């Protein structure tokens, strides 16, 4: 072992190989087309002029900054070219997912050759001038990035952060029965957690309803600076691994281009037939159990066809091909020679005509129209998007005769609305959830659908079937990845999770926000449905689960993203939640975050008030205030539990301290607090002063970490008067009220602090103020003792409702 | 299929089963011990009095809030009890990792029965009173949480957020050859990405150097509200999956307690022998290739031995056992009866003596002393911690004759220091990195060690061997999980990553911060080494990788954690980085975040200045200032690129606008900006005013998202005068200087904004100010045009160094 040939040839077990045959026509032409793709993939790294080497290569033709990733490019090109052949043969719709990161030069090369790139970017013409621009722009300032991005036609997957290619592929296949998603997964990416989990996605792919995913596991044994784990596994072990997962593995391995082209063509034909057979059997209801979907293990050398050796060090077939194999070509004449002979080894002079256009017989190898993978309509899903048929959300309202006198379970009520959304939209809406749909009280959806499960079921299972539209897997990564793929290919959806574990998605959500930011700027990208999060079982309600389940940090992640991409809603009650969710489901190109309670909670607003409140984003709640336009203290709040404690604090103050003028302001759309320059929802200073005055102290109770509100009010008049309470990382398995005590945000803490901050303005009331502070401090002690003795909250907390505080005095 | 018996009995392939034998003695006693553990596991959910049911069970004996997770408890108990037997038999050191979340009642039951719990918590005595307290405290306010936590003796793994059990197990096994880590992984957790990736950890476990990990894959087919993916896989497919990964799977399946006890005992003996054989062969150098480590697939019913049926619905053997199988026992007399007969089915009256202590013959089944898993020394790793033998970091300093006149590569220099740390500490320090050690320029470490790899290697591989101490896998999750396990069991380490992809770890880092917060409060927990992050390839330097690789959000995640747990350092140059890292490696019980540059960068401070600067955390850089105690504008900065732009802006201003008095303040320890009440490093107002004055405008250039600085200065005098520049989510594959232009933080932008903010204080200079603003605005246009035309930065940027600005005028 150890020599190149051995590494890629000898270890292919014969039983898994498909015999050579003479079936394939035009093999020479496909290899030539591949050479053209390889040539352009490399040329983009280096050339700012002389793109077809019509004159001898000189230093001045080279870019000042050499950038590019070569390792997986030739393999990707070969797969792309052979898929073109299959598409031509079968007239099938294929979507291409580029798992290997940074290999966009390969994809761009293919898009250019098939003509789609010129259609989307007419300045990149099919001639020498176009080719010059095409090469210049790659990884250059003001140009195109080194990985596939929203700017790349035919793409829904960026591949900058690795791990999500297969998830995006499955998401795009859901509900698109005519589509086959060809997903190239690299052996580097396969080491990540999300990718390792995503092989299980076949347990959720229904062959009679969904499209197919054809994974290409591209094992070239090279990542950034070493070999890969799968690269050093025997074929036999890889076969066992995928067989155990339920796939039928096909191997294509080698380093002889003609042989690999031929074998992949043959294997692709077989895999295609296997897919169609599974789908036909499923449609005819002849399929028993989970089908064995094909997977292609594609083992070719890292940096294949690149320089074999540079300065006596092996390059081709090692991780050293990962980036550009030659870096100092501008300064090192010997390396420049190697570069020139490498590029010339593809014989560009034979592949392109005089004008610089691909030879006509080669052009004929690419599919036509929207069958070209760069023009796949599912890669621009906004074009396929159908507006949801939404029920009238006001019909799900809870009656609210007076504020704070009745209880309802917000997400339970919302569940009925979501149920009817799912009923009315049976083909383009799904709910994604890490095993918590019931726990988050959305169980009503199971009146109209099931949990999707394409594996063994038993009669006693609860709403489990292949036709389900609730996608439950205990992996936040899978839920997010599937949903992203589903949205980008034209679907609608909702991701429901425990609040704390949304932080598992911090990075994925950030990457989707980055994608959306670019997406919105590209004229040919059609608006897609927003990515909607509903987080429940939140930080303040962890009676069961405790400290590990308390984490409001997802807000902090989203809020840093571009203002025109993110929206954050903290509805305080059931009717407000309904109004917010309706708004989110109608929106486009956003990430909407909604955080809501699942436990029985007081209702504050009737539906008319809730709608008006949501339209404003933040309102003065006059029924909870006694300030008559002139508050001594303003109690701001955002989030359901903070609102409860704030209103109760106002009630306590009005009851015990009627001389103090208290105003309650509730914020449902968090970004209204932001200056308008930072977020389009930000209110102007006039409205801000109308709510929060220009000078009076504000005690703000916030759902999450307090620091965020400090930032949001930065730049407003007198920001130092804002005193924020929120989650201080104090928690355990305890009652909800004990949680607000521990974090100093209880009604008693708020009442004490409100008096302290107001005192400067009402010095004549000092003695009463001090007496009351003592009274409320005593209440806190009393509570802490009671809850630890009786293992439960005091009845005065559990049974508290709003009533006229003046009458209570 | 579908009946209970079929589900767990019929599908066990005969070839994988180990034949019954009469070898096992005392099987009845082990089953009784197990009954005691099961009894206590359930009793903790319900009982606040009458813990051994010595009087008929009544509603008033019950807790007001019934809390608990039952599903996996009986399986965990059986594994624990049989491990006790193996430990007694072999005198081996086993560490127990509880993967199934929330099942702490099972672990607590075993700790109580083996006596360790009483040793750590003497008030929980071995009698009725102790048992009463023991049951009362569970999931109660002021008590212990529903999952294993830092409060739990013998534990290093919380299991609140799922996915990391196996990673913690491997981390604890590294460098502890005498240890076997028994890691119970649930089939629910196995659906997560991090867990799916972590099976590959055997490629990094060196049997001649490390301990062993014995995974128990606990397949009980139940998660929160449905079956599991692995639960519905055939044994044969599970066997293929693990065989492909390189394990030797052993199956123990069933629902007959005697049979399962017997079989697990036999399989444990075999697995133990297999482990010892692998280790012996490795030590004797007879081992070829990657060993086939045993894994035990443990298939028993969810909620085993619990209520079979409640209200006509099947409970035992379904996901409905996940939480407490009976919830309304206080109100429903029929359910109370079911509870009583369930608890009595374990016959507590036969298991505990009159005082309430476990029967003596059962006590004898538990190991003694530190062989008890609750007393395992590796679970309190601080006790095993050996201080690092650290080289003198000042010896690695770069010479700095005058500020800003020479270049060095900070992480490259740091690499030499880390190399020598690794050389001097060959058994208790490791570097963890997602395939980026070279890319982040720490290559010097390969002079003394290798990349750890226990799989196939080739002669041309680069520093790859089983003895390596650089742990490279393309999974941030694996790196973090291993490191956490390594630290908690007494090791030291450093995690090196690209900055953007640290966000993949947001949630794991948050959970570790939570663990540390509690850990610090527990008297018997000994301090452990801090978790050190070095993030490079940061947001401002992505010439290769572009927008997806730009994300400074990890700072935002950490900063919300408890002040006594987190530290954030932004060294501006090489010498400062060395001083910071030395400090971090000496610290205990923290999470230290260090963000540093890998590209050639200007040196600002010589080593003495760097040390003094780090000791203060923030300093006035007088050589870069001309304010003489009376600044018109203060330029604050934190982070290497912001410092470069700030110093250059000061230089531009001093050169072109000498009348303007500019002060430069650099912050290396970000938390010094915080008020001392929030963070122990926070400087008091006197020091703050010394640096930033009380009233003059401050223009602050920050490495990350600007909003954080708004919060940090909240509460300081006149916070509205702070104007923060930082990353605004603008980026692509471009030059570093183009990045600061795009995000409006370039020296030209800073100079313009400094003049604008200062102008109010210097109205007499308005016309010169306006002229200069125009000049700098022109510079920005000029740059943008140049970089897009020449595909590179202007020489005046690339070659800029600090020199006396007065001389330049």
Arithmetic mean of pLDDT, A393-414:
97
Position A286 scores a pLDDT of 85
pLDDT band at residue A12, thresholds of 50, 70 and 90? very low
For residue B452, give how far its alpha carbon lies from the nearest alpha carbon of chain A (Å): 11
In this complex, how many residue pairs, one in chain A and one in chain B, have their CB atoms less than 8 Å apart?
A: 395
Q: What is the mean pLDDT of each successive set of 10 residues along chain B, which is 809 residues long?
A: 34 36 71 98 97 97 93 96 97 96 93 98 98 96 92 95 97 98 97 98 97 97 91 97 98 96 97 97 89 97 94 90 90 96 97 97 97 98 98 98 97 98 98 94 97 94 95 98 98 97 98 97 97 96 87 96 95 98 98 96 98 98 96 98 98 97 98 93 96 97 95 91 96 92 98 97 96 98 95 94 85
Label residue B359 exposed, middle or buried (CB < 10 Å: 0-12, 13-18, 19+).
Answer: middle
Q: Kindly tell me the burial class for residue B350, based on how many C-beta atoms sit within 10 Å of its own C-beta (0-12, 13-18, 19 or more).
A: exposed
**A735 part of contact set with chain B, CB < 8 Å:** yes
For B282, the token pair is 């490795």
B58-B59-B60-B66 Cα dihedral, nearest 10 degrees:
130
B561 neighbourhood in chain A, CB within 8 Å: 729
> Which residue, A515, A516, A591, A523, is CA-closest to A148?
A515
Asked if B359 is an interface residue toward chain A (Cβ–Cβ < 8 A), one would say no
By DSSP bridging, strand A313-314 and strand A309-310 are antiparallel
Q: Which structure tokens are listed for B617?
A: 């955390």
pLDDT bucket at A392, cuts 50 / 70 / 90: very high
- The model's pLDDT over A508-554, given as tens digits with 9 standing for 90+, comes to 999 999 999 999 999 999 999 999 999 999 999 987 788 999 999 99
pLDDT of residue B599: 93
A577, A411 Cβ separation under 8 angstroms: yes
At B474 the three-state DSSP class reads: coil
And the tokens for B577?
């980085």
Dihedrals phi, psi of A772, to nearest 5 degrees: -70, -40
Contacts of A788 in chain B (CB under 8 A): 141-142
Shortest Cα distance from B574 to chain A (angstroms)?
24
C-beta of residue A591 within 8 angstroms of C-beta of residue A530: yes
How much is the ipTM here? 0.96
Each domain of chain A, given as residue ranges in start order, spans 26-376, 393-602, 617-808
CB atoms A102 and B451 under 8 Å:
no
DSSP state of B323: B
Q: Do the beta carbons of residue B296 and residue B248 sit within 8 Å?
A: no
Are the C-beta atoms of B727 and B550 separated by less than 8 Å?
A: yes
Q: Show the tokens assigned to A381.
A: 């899903």
**Chain A interface includes B796 (CB < 8 A):** no
Tokens of A710: 């400090």
Q: Are B506 and A791 inside 8 Å of each other by CB? A: no
Residue B400 neighbours by CB distance under 10 Å: 22
CA pseudo-torsion sign A724, A730, A735, A741:
negative
Q: Which B residues, 288 through 327, put their C-beta within 8 Å of a C-beta on chain A? A: 314, 318-319, 323
Instruction: Summarize pLDDT for A578-607 with one digit per residue, the tens.
Output: 999 999 999 999 999 999 999 999 999 999
Contacts of A160 in chain B (CB under 8 A): 545-549
Q: Quick check: B794 contacting A, CB < 8 Å?
A: no
Inter-chain touch A239–B237, beta carbons under 8 Å: no
Single out the residue of A741, A762, A687, A750 nearest to residue A723, CA to CA: A750
Cα separation, B267 vs B79, whole angstroms: 11
Provide, rounded to the nearest whole percent, the portion of chain A with pLDDT above 70: 97
Structural fold of domain B26-370: Rossmann fold (3.40.50)
Taking an 8 Å cut-off on Cβ atoms, the answer to whether A791 and B241 are in contact is no
Q: Which residue of B has its CA nearest to A450?
A: B226
Query: Which residue stretches of A704-746 are H helix?
Result: 707-712, 736-742
pLDDT band at A809 (very low <50, low <70, confident <90, very high): low
B145–chain A nearest CA distance, Å:
5
Q: What is the pLDDT of residue A21?
A: 42
The helix or strand, by DSSP H or E, that contains position A157, with its residue range, turns out to be none
B155 touches chain A (CB under 8 A): no
Q: Would you tell me how many other CB atoms lie within 10 Å of the CB of residue B553? A: 25
Q: What fold, for A26-376?
A: Rossmann fold (3.40.50)
Burial (0-12, 13-18, 19+ Cβ within 10 Å), B388: middle
Spell out where A384-491 has E strands: 407-408, 429-433, 451-452, 464-465, 470-472
The answer, for B545 touching chain A at a CB cutoff of 8 Å, is yes
Tokens for B626, please give them.
Answer: 């001309």
Cα–Cα dist A393/A583, whole Å: 10
Instruction: Give per-residue pLDDT as tens, B11-36.
Output: 333 333 344 343 456 899 999 999 99
State the architecture of A617-808 in CATH terms: 3-Layer(aba) Sandwich (3.40)
Instruction: Please provide residue B253's backbone torsions phi and psi, each rounded to the nearest 5 degrees.
Output: -135, 145
Architecture of domain B620-808: 3-Layer(aba) Sandwich (3.40)
Mean pLDDT of chain A: 94
CB A353 within 8 A of CB A359: yes
- Span A306-354, pLDDT tens digits: 999 999 999 999 888 888 899 899 999 999 999 999 999 999 999 999 9
Whole-angstrom distance between the N-terminal and C-terminal Cα of chain A? 89
Alpha-carbon distance A336 to A333, whole Å? Answer: 5
Instruction: Give me the DSSP letters along B36-59.
Output: HHHHHHHHHHHBSS-TT--S---G
pLDDT at B545: 83
Q: How much is the pLDDT for B809? A: 66
Q: Tell me the per-residue pLDDT of A753-793, one tens digit each, with 9 for 90 and over.
A: 999 999 999 999 999 999 999 999 999 999 999 999 999 99
| Token output for A336 | 């420049």
**Which B residues, 585 through 624, put their C-beta within 8 Å of a C-beta on chain A?**
none
Q: Which residues pair with A569 in a beta bridge?
A: A594, A669
Rg (chain B; Cα; Å): 31
* pLDDT recorded at residue A25: 67
Whole-angstrom distance, CA of residue B585 vs CA of residue B389: 10
Q: What does R_g of chain A's alpha carbons equal in angstroms?
A: 31
Taking each helix axis from N to C end, the angle separating B104-114 and B128-137, rounded to the nearest 10 degrees, works out to: 160
B562 and A719: CB-CB below 8 Å? Answer: no
Comparing alpha-carbon positions, the chain B residue that sits nearest to A143 is: B733
Q: In this predicted structure, what is the pLDDT of residue A24?
A: 59
Q: Which of B616, B640, B657 minimizes the C-alpha distance to B755?
A: B657
By C-alpha distance, the chain B residue nearest A546 is B145
Residue A254 confidence (pLDDT) above 70: yes
Give chain A positions within 8 Å (CB) of B506.
503-504, 506-507, 553, 557
B129/chain A closest Cα distance in angstroms: 16
Q: Please give the pLDDT value at position A23.
A: 47
- Using CA coordinates, name the residue in chain A closest to B560: A705
Torsion angle in degrees (nearest 10) through CA of B22, B26, B29, B33: -90
Buried b (16+ CB within 10 A) or exposed e, B485-499: bbbbbbbbbbbbbbb
Kindly report, residue by residue over A92-137, the tens digit of the pLDDT.
999 999 999 888 999 999 999 999 999 999 999 999 999 999 999 9
Buried b (16+ CB within 10 A) or exposed e, A375-410: bbbbbbbbeebeebebbebeebbbebeebbebebbb
How many angstroms away from the CA of B340 is the closest CA of chain A?
22
Both structure tokens of A707 = 């620091």
Structure tokens at B73: 């408890």
Classify domain B393-602 by CATH architecture.
3-Layer(aba) Sandwich (3.40)
| Cα B548–Cα B552–Cα B556 angle in degrees, nearest 5 | 135
Query: Token pair of A113, please?
Result: 């050759």
Distance CA A98, CA A217 (A): 11
Largest CA distance in chain B: 101
**Given this model, what pLDDT does residue A224 score?**
85
């Amino acid at each position: 072992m150890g020599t190149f040939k051995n590494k890629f040839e000898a270890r292919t077990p014969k039983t898994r190989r498909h015999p050579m045959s003479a079936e394939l026509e035009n093999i020479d032409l496909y290899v030539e087309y591949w050479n053209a793709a390889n040539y352009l993939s490399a040329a983009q790294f280096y050339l700012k002029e002389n793109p077809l080497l019509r004159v001898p290569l000189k230093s001045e033709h080279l870019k000042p900054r050499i950038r590019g990733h070569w390792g997986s490019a030739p393999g990707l090109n070969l797969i792309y070219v052979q898929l073109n052949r299959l598409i031509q043969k079968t007239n099938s719709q294929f979507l291409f997912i580029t798992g290997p990161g940074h290999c966009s030069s390969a994809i761009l090369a293919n898009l250019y050759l098939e003509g789609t790139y010129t259609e989307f970017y007419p300045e990149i013409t099919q001639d020498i001038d176009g080719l010059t621009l095409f090469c210049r722009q790659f990884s250059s300032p003001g140009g195109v990035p080194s990985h596939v991005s929203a700017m790349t036609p035919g793409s829904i997957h960026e591949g900058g952060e690795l791990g999500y290619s297969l998830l995006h592929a499955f998401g795009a296949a859901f509900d698109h029965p005519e589509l086959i998603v060809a997903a190239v997964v690299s052996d580097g990416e396969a080491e990540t957690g999300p990718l390792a989990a995503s092989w299980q996605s076949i347990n959720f792919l229904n062959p009679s309803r969904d499209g197919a995913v054809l994974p290409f596991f591209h094992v070239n044994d090279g990542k950034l600076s070493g070999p890969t784990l799968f690269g050093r596994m025997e074929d036999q072990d890889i076969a066992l691994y995928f067989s155990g997962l339920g796939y039928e593995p096909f191997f294509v391995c080698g380093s002889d281009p003609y042989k690999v082209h031929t074998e992949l063509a043959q294997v692709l034909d077989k895999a295609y037939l296997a897919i169609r057979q599974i789908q036909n059997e499923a449609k005819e209801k002849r399929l028993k159990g989970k089908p064995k979907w094909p997977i292609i293990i594609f083992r070719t050398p890292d940096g294949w066809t690149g320089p074999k050796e540079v300065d006596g060090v092996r390059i081709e077939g090692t991780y050293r091909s990962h980036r550009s194999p030659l870096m100092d070509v501008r300064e090192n004449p010997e390396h420049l020679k190697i570069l020139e002979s490498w590029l010339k080894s593809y014989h560009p002079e034979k592949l392109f005509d005089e004008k610089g256009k691909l030879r006509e017989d080669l052009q004929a190898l690419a599919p036509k129209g929207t069958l070209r993978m760069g023009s796949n309509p599912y890669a621009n899903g906004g074009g396929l998007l159908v507006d949801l048929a939404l029920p009238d959300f006001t019909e799900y309202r809870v009656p609210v005769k007076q504020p704070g006198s009745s209880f309802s379970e917000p997400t339970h009520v919302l569940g009925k609305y979501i149920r009817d959304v799912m009923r009315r939209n049976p083909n383009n809406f799904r709910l994604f959830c890490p095993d918590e749909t019931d726990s988050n009280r959305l169980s009503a959806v199971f009146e109209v659908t099931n949990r999707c499960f394409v594996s063994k079921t038993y009669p006693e299972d609860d709403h489990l079937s292949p036709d389900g539209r609730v996608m439950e897997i205990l992996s936040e990564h899978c839920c997010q990845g599937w949903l992203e793929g589903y949205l980008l290919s034209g679907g609608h959806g909702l991701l429901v999770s425990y609040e704390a574990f949304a932080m598992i998605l911090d990075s994925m959500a950030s990457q989707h926000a980055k994608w959306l930011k670019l997406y919105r700027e590209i004229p040919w990208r059609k608006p897609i449905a927003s990515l909607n999060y509903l987080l429940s079982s939140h930080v303040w309600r962890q009676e069961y689960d405790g400290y590990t389940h308390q984490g409001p940090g997802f807000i902090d992640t989203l809020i840093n993203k571009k203002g025109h991409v993110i929206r954050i809603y903290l509805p305080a009650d059931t009717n407000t939640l309904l109004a917010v969710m309706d708004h989110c489901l109608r929106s486009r190109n956003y990430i909407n975050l909604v955080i809501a309670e699942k436990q029985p909670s007081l209702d504050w607003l009737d539906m008319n008030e809730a709608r008006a409140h949501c339209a404003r984003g933040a309102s003065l709640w006059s029924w909870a205030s006694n300030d008559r336009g002139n508050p001594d203290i303003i109690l701001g709040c955002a989030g359901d539990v903070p609102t409860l404690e704030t209103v109760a604090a106002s009630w306590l103050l009005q009851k015990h301290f009627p001389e103090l003028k208290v105003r309650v302001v509730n914020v449902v759309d968090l970004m209204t607090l932001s200056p308008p320059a930072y977020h389009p929802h930000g209110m102007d200073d006039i409205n801000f002063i109308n709510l929060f005055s220009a000078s009076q102290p504000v005690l703000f109770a916030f759902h999450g970490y307090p620091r965020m509100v400090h930032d949001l009010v930065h730049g407003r008049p007198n920001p130092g008067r804002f005193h924020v309470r929120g989650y201080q990382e104090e928690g355990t398995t305890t009652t909800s009220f004990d949680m607000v005590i521990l974090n100093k945000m209880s009604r008693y803490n708020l009442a004490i602090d409100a008096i302290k901050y107001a005192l400067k303005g009402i010095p004549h009331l000092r003695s009463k103020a001090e007496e009351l502070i003592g009274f409320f401090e005593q209440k806190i002690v009393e509570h802490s003792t009671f809850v630890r003795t009786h293992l439960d909250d005091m009845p005065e907390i559990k049974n508290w409702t709003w009533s006229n505080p003046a009458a209570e005095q």
